């Protein structure tokens, strides 16, 4: 059994998922076979997964199934074996992806500064760089993370978030790429058409030619900490040091909350560690399902 307060949240999550299925998610999960009617519905599976992560801090699929079998069986009497639950869950990765997009639009806070966006990325680790990555090879690769001083196999989560004064940024757009994808390359490919916006990024986005053209064409500009120019004399560096340090500190102060957003995601969902994932579909559920669970926690 679960407490009355948690039971109320479980019902709210279930009703919200059912609403989303009626409006759009059913088109992603529709089955065209003789086995299209299931005793345990996709809505129930998504509800179990989101509730167990957001309310019970159960991060592994086996833990989620065990918890549901022990404490939620009266709510979901058709819950079968762990393998059946895992297989059904892996079919829902695209439903979780679509759910995230809907929630980001539907629950956008009113205090978002639309014309100011903070961007950064974080690693999603499937395997240490000391080993040979064998899971989801078509989705993952190996790279070096300077922030954590490590080599790893996996993915990279890129977040473009609306700035909120004194609060964590609220994601505007989310992208998941192979680990080795450069942040600047991802920006050029996915976000360079955004108009009338000031972006706050780290030094990887220091490309004066590209962003100079972006400012002329789209009225959007990128602010980053000042990056040292190779070959400048010590006199030149010292001459501009005070102004550069002040500017860099100001940009870093604006950017700092997005690190808090990543830390919050890790704390609430253990999002960064994907070493227990054993398939490509499972990896996608790990990524999009846990992001969805984090935002379910905020909504309810």
Whether pLDDT at 241 is above 90: no
Per-residue tokens: 205 = 């986005």
Instruction: Tell if the pTM clears 0.75, that is, is over it.
Output: yes
- Assign 190 to helix, strand or coil: helix
Evaluate whether 141 touches 153 at the Cβ level (below 8 Å).
yes
> What is the pLDDT averaged over residues 155-181?
95
Per-residue tokens: 280 = 């490509």
Q: Which helix (H) or strand (E) holds 112?
A: none
For the chain, give the percent of residues with pLDDT over 70.
Answer: 93
Whether pLDDT at 83 is above 90: yes
Write the pLDDT tens digit of every residue in 14-66: 999 999 999 999 888 766 555 656 789 999 999 999 999 999 999 999 999 99
Between 3-7, 230-234, 265-269, the lowest mean confidence (pLDDT) is in 230-234
Whole-number pLDDT of residue 300 = 79
What is the CB-side half-sphere exposure of residue 271 using CA atoms within 13 A? Answer: 25
Q: Is 69 exposed, middle or buried (0-12, 13-18, 19+ CB in 10 A)?
A: middle
Q: Which helix (H) or strand (E) holds 221?
A: strand 221-223
Distance CA 96, CA 22 (A): 15
Whether pLDDT at 152 is above 60: yes
Distance CA 258, CA 85 (A): 34
In DSSP terms, 174 is beta-bridged to 159
Question: Which residue, among 105, 89, 108, has the nearest Cα to 41 in the 3D structure?
Answer: 89
Whether pLDDT at 236 is above 90: no
Distance CA 21, CA 29 (A): 9
What b-and-e string marks burial along 183-202, b requiring 16 or more CB atoms within 10 Å of the CB? bbebbeeebeebeebbbbbb
Write the pLDDT tens digit of every residue in 175-226: 999 999 999 999 999 999 999 999 999 999 989 899 999 999 999 999 999 8
pLDDT band at 278 (very low <50, low <70, confident <90, very high): confident
DSSP state of 96: H
Whether pLDDT at 256 is above 90: yes
């Amino acid at each position: 059994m679960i407490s009355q307060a948690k039971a109320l949240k479980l019902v709210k999550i279930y009703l919200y998922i059912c609403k989303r299925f009626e409006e759009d998610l059913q088109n992603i999960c529709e089955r065209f076979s003789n086995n299209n009617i299931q005793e345990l519905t996709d809505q129930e599976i998504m509800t179990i997964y989101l509730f167990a992560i957001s309310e019970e801090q159960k991060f592994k699929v086996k833990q989620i199934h065990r918890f549901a079998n022990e404490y939620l069986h009266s709510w979901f009497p058709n819950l079968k074996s762990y393998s059946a639950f895992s297989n059904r869950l892996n079919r829902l990765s695209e439903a979780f992806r679509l759910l995230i997009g809907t929630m980001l639009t539907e629950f956008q806070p009113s205090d978002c500064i639309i014309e100011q966006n903070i961007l950064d990325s974080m690693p999603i680790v499937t395997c240490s760089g000391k080993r040979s990555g064998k899971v989801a090879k078509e989705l993952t690769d190996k790279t070096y993370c300077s922030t954590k001083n490590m080599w790893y196999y996996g993915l990279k989560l890129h977040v473009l978030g609306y700035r909120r004064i004194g609060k964590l940024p609220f994601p505007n757009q989310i992208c998941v790429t192979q680990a080795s994808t450069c942040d600047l390359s991802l920006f050029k490919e996915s976000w360079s058409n955004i108009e009338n916006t000031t972006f706050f990024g780290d030094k990887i986005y220091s490309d004066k030619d590209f962003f100079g053209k972006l400012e002329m064409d789209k009225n959007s500009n990128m602010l980053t900490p000042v990056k040292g120019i190779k070959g400048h004399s010590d006199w030149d560096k010292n001459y501009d040091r005070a102004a550069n340090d002040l500017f860099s500190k100001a940009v870093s102060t604006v950017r700092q909350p997005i690190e808090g957003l990543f830390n919050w995601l890790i704390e609430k969902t253990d999002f960064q560690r994907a070493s227990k994932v054993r398939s490509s579909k499972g990896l996608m559920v790990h990524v999009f399902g846990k992001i969805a669970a984090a935002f379910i926690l905020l909504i309810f």
